[in-house]
A and B are shown apart, each in its own frame.
Chain A
Amino acid sequence: MAKERKKLKKKEGNAAKYTTRNKALNRLQIKLPEFRRLCILKGIHPREPKKKFEGSHKTYYHVKDINFLAHEPLLETGRALKVYKKKIKKAQAKKNWSLVTRLEANKPSYSLDHLVKERYPSFIDALRDLDDPLTMLHLFATFPAEASYKIPAETVNNCRRLSLEWQAYVARTHCLRKTFISVKGIYYQADVAGQKITWLTPHVLSQVVPNDIDIRVMLTFVEFYETLVGFVNFKLYHSLGLKYPPILDSKLEAEAAELYAVMRDLGKEAHEASEKEKDSNDFNSLSDTDTNHAQEPVNTESRLAESRARLASLQDRLSKMAKPEGNEKLLGVTDDDENMEEDENEDDDTRQCKALFKDLKFFLGREVPRESLLLLIRAFGGVASWAGDNAPFEESDEDITHQIVDRPTQGHIFLSREYVQPQWVYDCVNNRLLLPTIDYLLGRVPPPHLSPFVDNEKEGYVPEYAETLKRLQTAKEGKVLPLPGEEGSKDTEQFLESVVANRTESMEELRKTQKQAILEKTYQEELTKEIAGIPFSGSIQTMDRDEVDGEHVVEKEAYSHPETMDEEPPSAIAKAMMPRKARKLYAAMQIGKQKKQAEIDLLKERKRKSERKQNKKVAPEIEFQHTFESRCKASG
């Protein structure tokens, strides 16, 4: 019997490598919910064996994965918890309250720290997989902590805290790159340590948890994500030389200006940290990313800290003399921020991001999404305030350059500032330039909001507004854009646009002439070759070389066409020579291409229709005028 069994056991192949889920459950001696929980926490997922030896309807796990689970300490913890729950239940049933309280005091606890390290051995790995955690935490931060949903209030608060800490980091290091208001929520993309991290936050409205989802699954995910993001935040804050966790300003938090609350703390702590550095030279908290640069920043840091301390004391005295201190303190903090980061070796992009809203002061109306806008404005170097207590400055502040409003009309209007819709901020951020505010003014329908994640050229369809934006961008690169103060007037804008258009045209012409020159040159070369009598194998070589160049191939074909008077594209004939595999692949690719093309055609069609409709709307007016005129003429 034993011999037979031994024979049956596979030693290689799919049957030895993979196991079904039920077998795994038997092996681990746990129930499905516990298995699910473990899988979620450990990041174990089913795999696809080449041959599904027990039928295609089953789920297969790798044997190594299951063995890995079997040695997980959490498995034991789970069992202990189960026993513990039983004990409590028993004690409760027997009304042994003293035992219940004693047991409750000694609840077996566990942590997921080791799982984080295990799943993400290096920090970059963790950053790479941060998209889902961040989205999840931002979602849970908005959840109602209601008992009926079985979402613990503690989790909700923790999620809120972690997401704010993350946002504070992003705002402070100016690593936010793209944002996008979609119907689903607001997307953000940040560049942290070279990793692009995209997350989605829901619109700040109450969430209704649907009935057909299993919240336990989500809570298990959130449990792990909380730990992961906590450690990531720690590492990020540590790299900035900040204390973690930051202490929130309770007053501001109560005012629902949490991000500001965290930021304030960061500002303060940064100050303290730098002070500490000054004291001890060997304290090397900053920039552990690259040890080469570590020494230099520290030195500059200490020098800066000194000067800053002097500045701060001076400012203190000044503020006591002149102004109410609350305002001034905040401004001082922001100044600190900027000084801090000036010396950090940062890439061009960061510098550009940091300077986008520099010297601009925003005031947020109470109807706009405050958290999102605060993050954006802070991340791009601006200063913002809002209507409410403990706000950094009042609405009546003279220095405010932009007030962000989202209402049909505004009662009192300050002439010194611009009243823009929130979309303006998002569009500015995506295009890295201060757009003319004329289209975004109060009460107008703003221009379409375009996704920054789309490569229009690759998609094959460029929306109209994208072209306008691109023109503006090229204009900015050419340094023709006037100072932000002047952008409001329509005349200058038009003038600008015309200038830009001229520029682009001239550029294109230049490019064309260059191309032609290249073409002529290659043609000459080929002619000489032909005269010399190089066989066509040689010509193959030249062709290969052309392919490497890539760009010129198309052009060459263009001029070869008239010579051969060939109506057939050469590729159509060459297709006959393709091996079967390639031929099928090619056909499949063509299907995809056609689908894409069909989509583009649909868009174009819709665009044309909408334009026609608009024209129609305008047309009757003109007609009426004409008839009116003619009638006048007839009568006159």
Chain B
Amino acid sequence: MRSSEKKQVEESKKAASNGAVVSDINGVPSVPDSAREDISNATSESEDEDWHNSSSDNDGDSSSISDNTDESSDEDDEDTKAINEAMLDYMGALEERRQREALGSEEEEPRSARTEVESDSSEDEVVPSRNTIGNVPLHWYKDEQHIGYDLAGKKIKKKEKQDQIDSFLAHTDGSKSWRKIYDEYNDEEVELTKEEVDMIRRIRAGRIPHAEVNAYEPYVDWFDWDGKGHPLSNAPEPKRRFIPSKWEAKKVVKLVRAIRNGWIKLDKPKEKPKFYLLWGDDLKATEKTANGLTYIPPPKPKLPGHEESYNPPVEYIPTQEEINSYALMYEEDRPKFIPQGFQSLRQVPAYSEFIKERFERCLDLYLCPRSRKKRIDIDPESLIPKLPKPKDLQPFPNICYLEYHGHTGPVVSIAVDPSGMWLASGSMDQTVRLWEVQTARCCRVWSLDGPVRHIAWNPRKDLGILAISLQSKVLLLDLELGTSDPDEVSKLLALNPSVMDNDGDGALVTWMKHENLKALEVKHSQEVLSITWHHKGDYFTSVAPDANTRAVLVHQLSKQQTQNPFRKLQGRVVTAMFHPSRPFLFVATKMHVRVYNLVKQQLSKKLMTGLHEITSMAIHSKGDNLIVGSKEGKICWFDMDLSTQPYKTIKNHHEDIQAVAFHTAYPLFASCADDSTVHVFHGMVYNDLLQNPLIVPLKILHGHSKTGGRGILDCCFHSNQPWLFSAGADSVIKLFCD
């Protein structure tokens, strides 16, 4: 298109130079009337549109003009036609301009200022051209001197015609001459501006005359399609979308109220310092807790010892054998930590159990029940009662002084003569022996027809009678050691004839004369286990536990009579004893000791021993205190003035206590047991009733050996020396002196 355009322009120039153009320009007789009308209409109609538009409007009319222009150019009529058309189009615009000028100011303004005026005068109603002849054929004025009439109605004179040569010269000389067009209607020449030429060229190219108008601007889709998809319904927008919501308004009111009242805080709360002074200045520990319970602090873990060191002394590191032996132990006995030694600190590895141990500690802290336990942090020696030293309580039997050998069986019972010269002993080897205490010489031996159970010396010094229990018999043997007349003793032991008479089936016992010994025999129904004399030496009791109601019998030697003081007995009787000064009888059963008043014939006291099985009993010489030995190795001391409960229970033996004994003169008592020991105690009884008896263990005497599961079977004190005799199952009798 561009190239063709250029061509057209060049041709037009050529034509101009040939002179044909001139004739052409001049030769164009007139613009057709219809076209002229159009132009004027257009100008009048488009009130406020600028002249560009009006020219574009004229585009449509170009076809009508083309007919007229055909005659002037033959060869390239299309090109020239187009130019002419455009030029003619432009004519209208020019005319309009002219009219405006005429209206605004009579004198002509320079061309440069013309455009400004045009724009200003756009509001004018009808802009008349210079010529006012209207749309009439111009050839009507062909032969006239004038071309028409101006606004005032005066004739507009024709311009004088230049001759052809002058016009040609003017055309060739002026560089702008090619842009000049002759307006026949107004009889004047118009020069086109550069822009106007450009516009013409664009029109000819079939494009939009104005360069600044872009017909193909990029398309902008102002609607936001993102994520909208296709509308579900094509329903029209409801009304509610266009009116404010009531509920929203309510909500807003609510929020406003909340903000005003401080329920909603819009600004973020200020960051408080994370740590501050929590505790005041007091450095005192408090006992109170918030929940009112005493605070039990968690126990602190044990502090590490030498063995935990990374480099402990050699002796703390177990040998490989020891470590191996741990595998054989029970899991709970196994040491939890095995010490290790490292040559230097850099070799120490991380302790793999660390986290586990901490975790277990955590578990302990919140899962273990805590309670305060009083841990006794005392020296164990302080538990041992502080007693007076034995050396302050001398004399007491301390060392073995003599041994009495001779028996071939266990010595079951021993008894010391009231004068303290003689010792009698009965044994399982069916003999009773008499020893001289000071020399350990066996003076006499009596062979009997059964194992001896018990022997008891008559407390009367002048008589010298020994009571021996032999199975179901009790022998009253005259030892011929009495100080009194031997006849008197033999008379006493002679069988009383009245007794013979009384003999019958219903009798408790049978008194009779022993066949070959100088002795009186009392035959019981059951085996007699113990005999005790009354302190005056006339009465004695015998205990035969198996004899039910006849277990305890009281015999009178002088009258050779026997009586059964009890109609009924509670429990199996172990032993029975007379009170040393008052008419009381102590009967020890398995668990209790009963005290009977013989005068009133009633039970006076029942002593609760708390023992399982009583084996022996001894009474203090003053009669208010009593000791009881038991099979569990315990001795109970009863203070009868105090209570029926034991004043003191002493657990000293491991095995059965066989016998207990009080010294008649010294504050001593002793117990012997199957564990082959004799325990000697200091047992001081005060005359003052307010002072309790003082019991101090003094000495444990050893020496006997255990034979057949039995140790020491009997013990007794010397009657006036602080000496102790003990009879063992090993058939030896020992004398312990101070």
A577→B698 contact, CB < 8 A: no
The answer to whether the Cβ of B301 comes within 8 Å of any Cβ in the partner chain is yes
The residues in B between 358 and 387 inclusive whose CB is less than 8 angstroms from any CB of A are 358-359, 361-363, 365-371, 376, 380-381, 383-387
Segment at the B interface, from A166-174, A205-213, A334-342? A205-213
B390→A570 contact, CB < 8 A: yes
A586→B384 contact, CB < 8 A: yes
The residues in A between 448 and 470 inclusive whose CB is less than 8 angstroms from any CB of B are 448-451, 453-454, 459, 463-465
Segment at the B interface, from A178-186, A266-274, A621-629? A178-186
Assembled-state Cα–Cα distance A610/B341 (Å): 14
* Residue of A126, A183, A212, A537 touching B309 (CB-CB under 8 A): A183
A-B contact pairs, 23 of them (CB 8 A): A64-B291, A64-B292, A123-B279, A123-B283, A132-B365, A182-B304, A203-B350, A213-B355, A218-B359, A233-B275, A238-B277, A406-B346, A422-B345, A451-B304, A453-B305, A540-B388, A543-B389, A563-B391, A573-B697, A576-B679, A578-B385, A585-B383, A606-B316
Given A451-B305, A571-B381, is A185 in contact with B354 using a C-beta cutoff of 8 Å?
yes
* Residue of A218, A580, A586 touching B651 (CB-CB under 8 A): A580
Assembled-state Cα–Cα distance A142/B284 (Å): 34
The answer to whether the Cβ of A574 comes within 8 Å of any Cβ in the partner chain is yes
**A540 — which chain B residues lie within 8 A by C-beta?**
386, 388
The answer to whether the Cβ of B234 comes within 8 Å of any Cβ in the partner chain is no
The answer to whether the Cβ of A589 comes within 8 Å of any Cβ in the partner chain is yes
Taking A126-B279, A182-B310, A450-B313 as known contacts, 7 extra A-B pairs with beta carbons closer than 8 A to each other, sorted by chain A number, are A46-B369, A64-B293, A123-B282, A131-B301, A182-B308, A234-B277, A547-B386
* Residue of A213, A233, A449, A572 touching B311 (CB-CB under 8 A): A449
Given A117-B278, A210-B355, A406-B346, is A560 in contact with B391 using a C-beta cutoff of 8 Å?
yes
A576→B650 contact, CB < 8 A: yes
Assembled-state Cα–Cα distance A540/B387 (Å): 8
Q: Which residue of B lies closest to A463 (CB)?
A: B313
**B288 — which chain A residues lie within 8 A by C-beta?**
121
The answer to whether the Cβ of A187 comes within 8 Å of any Cβ in the partner chain is yes
Assembled-state Cα–Cα distance A181/B271 (Å): 42
The answer to whether the Cβ of A68 comes within 8 Å of any Cβ in the partner chain is yes
The residues in B between 290 and 345 inclusive whose CB is less than 8 angstroms from any CB of A are 290-293, 295-298, 300-301, 303-306, 308-319, 339-340, 343-345
Contact pattern, A 540-553, Cβ under 8 Å of B = 1, otherwise 0? 10011001000000
The residues in B between 365 and 423 inclusive whose CB is less than 8 angstroms from any CB of A are 365-371, 376, 380-381, 383-393
The answer to whether the Cβ of B276 comes within 8 Å of any Cβ in the partner chain is yes
Given A449-B312, A536-B388, A543-B386, is A210 in contact with B356 using a C-beta cutoff of 8 Å?
yes
Contact pattern, B 711-730, Cβ under 8 Å of A = 1, otherwise 0? 00000000000000000000
B380→A589 contact, CB < 8 A: yes
Min distance, Cβ B336 to any Cβ of chain A, angstroms: 12
Assembled-state Cα–Cα distance A361/B349 (Å): 29
Min distance, Cβ B580 to any Cβ of chain A, angstroms: 26
The answer to whether the Cβ of B494 comes within 8 Å of any Cβ in the partner chain is no
**B220 — which chain A residues lie within 8 A by C-beta?**
none
The residues in B between 147 and 169 inclusive whose CB is less than 8 angstroms from any CB of A are none
The residues in A between 37 and 60 inclusive whose CB is less than 8 angstroms from any CB of B are 39-40, 44-48, 59-60
Assembled-state Cα–Cα distance A238/B279 (Å): 11
The answer to whether the Cβ of A575 comes within 8 Å of any Cβ in the partner chain is yes
Assembled-state Cα–Cα distance A391/B389 (Å): 74
B650→A193 contact, CB < 8 A: no
What number of residue pairs across chains A and B have CB atoms under 8 A from each other?
294
The answer to whether the Cβ of A331 comes within 8 Å of any Cβ in the partner chain is no
Assembled-state Cα–Cα distance A593/B380 (Å): 10
**B393 — which chain A residues lie within 8 A by C-beta?**
536
Q: Which residue of A lies closest to B399 (CB)?
A: A565
Given A62-B293, A64-B293, A231-B278, is A574 in contact with B697 using a C-beta cutoff of 8 Å?
yes
Contact pattern, A 208-245, Cβ under 8 Å of B = 1, otherwise 0? 11101110011001000000001101110010000011
The answer to whether the Cβ of B286 comes within 8 Å of any Cβ in the partner chain is yes
A128→B285 contact, CB < 8 A: yes
The answer to whether the Cβ of B136 comes within 8 Å of any Cβ in the partner chain is no
Q: Which residue of A lies closest to B380 (CB)?
A: A589
B281→A45 contact, CB < 8 A: no
Q: Which residue of A lies closest to B310 (CB)?
A: A181
* Residue of A123, A202, A537, A590 touching B380 (CB-CB under 8 A): A590
The answer to whether the Cβ of B30 comes within 8 Å of any Cβ in the partner chain is no
The residues in B between 9 and 46 inclusive whose CB is less than 8 angstroms from any CB of A are none
List residues of chain B with CB under 8 Å of any chain A CB.
Answer: 274-279, 281-286, 288-293, 295-298, 300-301, 303-306, 308-319, 339-340, 343-346, 348-359, 361-363, 365-371, 376, 380-381, 383-393, 648, 650-652, 679, 695-700
Min distance, Cβ A556 to any Cβ of chain B, angstroms: 10
The answer to whether the Cβ of A118 comes within 8 Å of any Cβ in the partner chain is yes
A217→B700 contact, CB < 8 A: no
Assembled-state Cα–Cα distance A81/B367 (Å): 25
The answer to whether the Cβ of A604 comes within 8 Å of any Cβ in the partner chain is yes
B352→A448 contact, CB < 8 A: no
Given A205-B350, A577-B697, is A453 in contact with B278 using a C-beta cutoff of 8 Å?
no
Most buried by B among A125, A136, A566: A125
B391→A564 contact, CB < 8 A: yes
Assembled-state Cα–Cα distance A633/B237 (Å): 131
Q: Which residue of B lies closest to A184 (CB)?
A: B351
Min distance, Cβ B124 to any Cβ of chain A, angstroms: 63
Most buried by B among A193, A423, A537, A573: A573
A606→B315 contact, CB < 8 A: yes
B697→A202 contact, CB < 8 A: no
Assembled-state Cα–Cα distance A580/B695 (Å): 17
A122→B283 contact, CB < 8 A: yes
**A606 — which chain B residues lie within 8 A by C-beta?**
314-319
**A207 — which chain B residues lie within 8 A by C-beta?**
350, 354-355
**A332 — which chain B residues lie within 8 A by C-beta?**
none
* Residue of A132, A212, A238 touching B361 (CB-CB under 8 A): A132
**B386 — which chain A residues lie within 8 A by C-beta?**
540, 543-544, 547, 574
Q: Which residue of A lies closest to B291 (CB)?
A: A68
Q: Which residue of B lies closest to A215 (CB)?
A: B359
Min distance, Cβ A611 to any Cβ of chain B, angstroms: 9
Assembled-state Cα–Cα distance A391/B350 (Å): 27
Assembled-state Cα–Cα distance A218/B652 (Å): 56
**B365 — which chain A residues lie within 8 A by C-beta?**
40, 45, 132, 221
* Residue of B278, B353, B355, B698 touching A113 (CB-CB under 8 A): B278
**B295 — which chain A residues lie within 8 A by C-beta?**
125
A539→B392 contact, CB < 8 A: yes
Min distance, Cβ B250 to any Cβ of chain A, angstroms: 22
Min distance, Cβ A510 to any Cβ of chain B, angstroms: 28
